[in-house]
Amino acid sequence: MENVYGIEYSRPEVVLLQDTGIGVAESAARTCYDSFSNSENEVIKNIESHMPNDAMCDEINSIEDSNLLDDLAWTYFHHSILEHANLSFLIRGTSRGVLQEHARHRIQAISVRSTRYTMSSIINAFVASKHGGDKEFFISKLLSFDMFVTADEGYNRVEIGAIYDKLDYQRKVVEDFHSIAVAKSSIPLIEQYQGDAEALFDALQAGKKKRNVGDAFKHIISDNVKVDMVVTFNLRSLKNYFTLRDSGAAYFQIRWLAQEMMRVTPSKYLDLIIKKKS
């Protein structure tokens, strides 16, 4: 946990899902200069006289060091060859605010937990609170979801209370709120469990989920809500990302994320994109 501006925040978690190695990047660079025979990696030397077979490709992808890549990265600043190495990260527990910042990095593949499909639990808790519970039931239920990057219960109660108020306003102005909130097959459960909020919530959770439920309710959540995502960068783009986002000028939450991503990035990549401190 970190205290920032008087509010406690949780840090994101990051796992490196896959990395393609630096051998292909050296192969690309050697192709540019027709210099395979100068490599310290025997398998790269052999490319000059042999088209790589499966065994050679496996060996290329297991290369841990390349003098040429180091020279190109730090002496000649020929960074285009770094685009041939890719890394994919699974990220959990960053915020929607960070997602907005992340999207500004153009060259990445990004897949994010969708609010269109994953808001059923929030809506089910609200429906249950209106048929046997109260606002406190809703707040307590959402607190158990651990859905915010803020870790201060008092602050999160304010956040959840605002979600409740927005949903309650919408309920009053929509002619048939239940039709947009729960699946058609679950509507009879509301009458069946009338007066028992916990049982109704459990029944709605176990029932069919309303398709695209987030279409009607995206407005209720803030940038404070946690998101999960998988991002894939080529090494040149990752260099740019770390340079900008590990800076003290960066938004503190994306700086935390960059630091966690850097922590799980193997040194064979970091040595090519992070300037060593003298």
Same domain, 20 and 151: no
Within a domain: residue 177? yes
Taking alpha carbons only, the member of 87, 142, 100 closest to residue 253 is 100
- Position 252 scores a pLDDT of 95
The band of 278, judged by pLDDT with boundaries at 50, 70 and 90, is: low
Same domain, 108 and 199: no
- List the domain range (segments joined by +) for residue 204: 120-220
Question: Where among 205, 220, 235 does a domain terminate?
Answer: 220
Same domain, 13 and 108: yes
Same domain, 83 and 130: no
Within a domain: residue 143? yes
Within a domain: residue 2? no
**Chain segment 81-114, per-residue pLDDT in tens:** 999 999 999 999 999 999 988 888 888 999 999 8
Within a domain: residue 205? yes
- Position 6 scores a pLDDT of 93
Q: How many domains does the chain have?
A: 2
- Position 57 scores a pLDDT of 95
Same domain, 40 and 60: yes
103: domain CATH number? Answer: 3.30.1360.170
Higher-scoring residue by pLDDT: 211, 273: 273
Question: Where among 177, 200, 220 does a domain terminate?
Answer: 220
What's the half-sphere exposure (Cβ side, CA atoms, 13 Å) at 74? Answer: 14
Same domain, 143 and 174: yes
In sequence order, which residues have a C-beta less than 8 Å from that of residue 49 and are 6 or more positions away? none
Do residues 142 and 165 make contact, with C-beta atoms less than 8 angstroms apart? Answer: no
Same domain, 55 and 94: yes
Same domain, 204 and 158: yes
pLDDT reading at 277 higher than 70: no
Same domain, 57 and 139: no
Question: Where among 220, 239, 256 does a domain terminate?
Answer: 220
Would you give the distance in Å from CA 13 to the centre of its chain? 9
Higher-scoring residue by pLDDT: 115, 158: 158
**Chain segment 160-203, per-residue pLDDT in tens:** 999 999 999 999 999 999 999 999 999 999 999 999 999 999 99
Higher-scoring residue by pLDDT: 275, 121: 121
- Position 105 scores a pLDDT of 86
Same domain, 200 and 128: yes
In sequence order, which residues have a C-beta less than 8 Å from that of residue 130 and are 6 or more positions away? 168, 171
Do residues 181 and 210 make contact, with C-beta atoms less than 8 angstroms apart? Answer: yes
Within a domain: residue 3? no
Within a domain: residue 278? no
Same domain, 101 and 165: no
Across residues 67-71, what is the average pLDDT? 95
- Position 127 scores a pLDDT of 97
Strand partners, 148: 225
Mean of the per-residue pLDDT values of the chain: 94
Same domain, 106 and 234: yes
Within a domain: residue 98? yes
Higher-scoring residue by pLDDT: 142, 77: 142
Instruction: Give this prediction's pTM.
Output: 0.92
**Chain segment 218-261, per-residue pLDDT in tens:** 999 999 999 999 999 999 999 999 999 998 999 999 999 999 99
- Position 243 scores a pLDDT of 94
- Position 1 scores a pLDDT of 84
- Position 103 scores a pLDDT of 85
The band of 68, judged by pLDDT with boundaries at 50, 70 and 90, is: very high
- Position 28 scores a pLDDT of 95
